[in-house]
Structure 1
Amino acid sequence: MVNLQDPRVLRTRQLIRDAFRALLRSKGFDAISIKDIARHATINRATFYDHYVDKYALLDETIEQAFHAMIPEEVKLAKAFTAERCEQLILMTYGYMVDFYRICRMDSKSIASHVDEKIKNMLEQTIEGIFLNEDNRRLPTCDHIKILSAMTSSTIYSAAYRWLTDGEQDRADLLVNIVRPYVMNGLGSYRER
């Protein structure tokens, strides 16, 4: 097991991640081999396997790191799911998808599905965290919070994905104007019960 606090380990992992991202831009995920990653990172294959089980584990870490780096500080510290936080999550999710799909050549439907599922799960966890932080306990049970988080994240993700695939990429403000009221009205009707 590697010591994740060791500067050499951190440096090696960064070399691997950088090589992987460079290869994603040029080859696409399915065409990338561990040998390719190791060669680009200037390490041997055994060193790669000291750090990652396979390229799927590396993909997961890459997705997670990029997603968490894009979450605005106000969202991380939010005590309530407000219209402003909703807007930030819509723009962040859309921006993440645009960046990821632009950088990565999604040459495999299974990989695209994997990436999409990962994004959906991270968005849902982020929203659930905000709901759990809410000062007033208008959301009665943990089960309700999980369901509301799933519905809210699905709405945001699906709308952002559709916006990306339908080519409205230069008008994220319109996306926000469509999705934010829908989400906030839905949550408002639930909270008024």
Structure 2
Amino acid sequence: MATPSKNIDRRAKRTRQVLEEAFLAMLDEKGFTAMSIQEITERANVHRGTFYAHFADKYALLEAVIRERFRDALTSELPPIPQWEQNTLHLLIEATLEYFKGTYHQCSSLHIVDPLTEKVIREELATFLVIWLKQGKNAQMRWQLSVEMTAELMSWTILGAAIQWSQNSTTMTAEKMARHVVLMLLEGVTHLASSALPG
């Protein structure tokens, strides 16, 4: 038998899902700037108070949508239990490139402020990388920089490559660009912790 708390959690999750679906529908119809919270709640068939119980404003809702979609994009491309190794890093970067390219063009056409997308992607990348860098034998490594700082710098590098690749017309594939980024990152990581990345 489901407990009351589980039922509440399911209802809350379902409400968030309905709000996100309504938000995406309004995004296609009116664009981010023109849509209002009132229109989102009417489309979702919920009260404004319900909206504010989940999100502070429409920017918070946008951030949640971007974050969830990016996580889904990564987990769909990565192994079930990803490990810190060259191939997994390549998959992470290539998935980021592909996701950011699609999101950048969509957001630009809808006049959404790009820094929010960039912030979310960078934070999620840093989170993934910190977890990986603390796994297995890496947990025993003596890093010249903290794991958190290393992950932060790597996430900025990946994000910068994604921005450049998505904004500029190029014949370079995401796979090839990812290889270039991996090569650059591995050279840096090798100097920070010898043999940190088995390859």
**Normalising TM by the smaller chain, what interval?**
0.7 to 0.9
Name the structure 2 match of 1:21: 24
Q: Is the 8 A contact 2:90 2:178 kept in 1?
A: yes
What CA distance in whole angstroms lies between the structure 2 residues aligned with 1:89 and 1:172?
11
Q: Residues 4, 155 of structure 1: CA spacing in aligned structure 2 closer, same or farther, 3 A cutoff?
A: farther
Amino acid aligned to 1:31: A
Deviation at 1:70, TM superposition (A): 1.8
Q: Once the 2 structures are TM-superposed, how far is the Cα of residue 29 of structure 1 from its aligned partner?
A: 1.9
Alpha-carbon distance in 1 for matches of 2:171, 2:111: 21
- Runs of 4+ aligned structure 1 residues displaced above 4 Å come to 73-76
- 1:118 aligns with 120
- For 1:28 and 1:162, locate their aligned partners in 2 and report how far apart those are by CA, in whole Å: 25
Residue 128 of structure 1 and its aligned partner are, at CA, apart by: 0.9
| TM, length-normalised to structure 2 | 0.81
The 3 A distance-change label for structure 1 pair 19 and 72 is same
Query: If the length of structure 1 is used for normalisation, what is the TM-score?
Result: 0.83
Unaligned runs of 5+ in 2: none
Tell me which residue corresponds to 1:78.
82
CA-CA distance at 1:158 after TM superposition: 0.6
* Residues 62/192 of structure 1: CA separation in 2 closer, same or farther (3 Å cut): same
Q: What percentage of residue pairs aligned between the two structures are identical?
A: 26
Equivalent in the alignment of 2:50: 47
Counterpart AA for 2:81? L
Aligned-residue RMSD, C-alpha = 2.6
Match of 1:72, SS? helix
Contact 1:19 1:40 in 2 (8 A): yes
1:30 to 1:180, Cα distance in 2 relative to 1, 3 A: same
- Matched-pair contact (CA < 8 Å) for 2:97–2:162: yes
Aligned residues: 188
CA contact (8 A) 2:144 2:193 kept: no
Instruction: Using the TM superposition, give the Cα deviation of residue 153 of structure 1 relative to its aligned residue in structure 2, in angstroms.
Output: 1.1
Question: How far has the Cα of 1:131 moved from its partner?
Answer: 0.2
2: CA distance between counterparts of 1:72 and 1:46? 33
Letter in 2 for 1:152: M
Structure 1, unaligned runs of 5 or more: none
Change (3 A) 1:41 1:86: same
Counterpart contact for 1:29–1:107, Cα < 8 Å: yes
Change (3 A) 1:50 1:148: closer
The alpha-carbon distance between structure 1 residues 132 and 5, as it changes in their structure 2 partners (threshold 3 A), is farther
Aligned: 1:98 with 2:136:
no
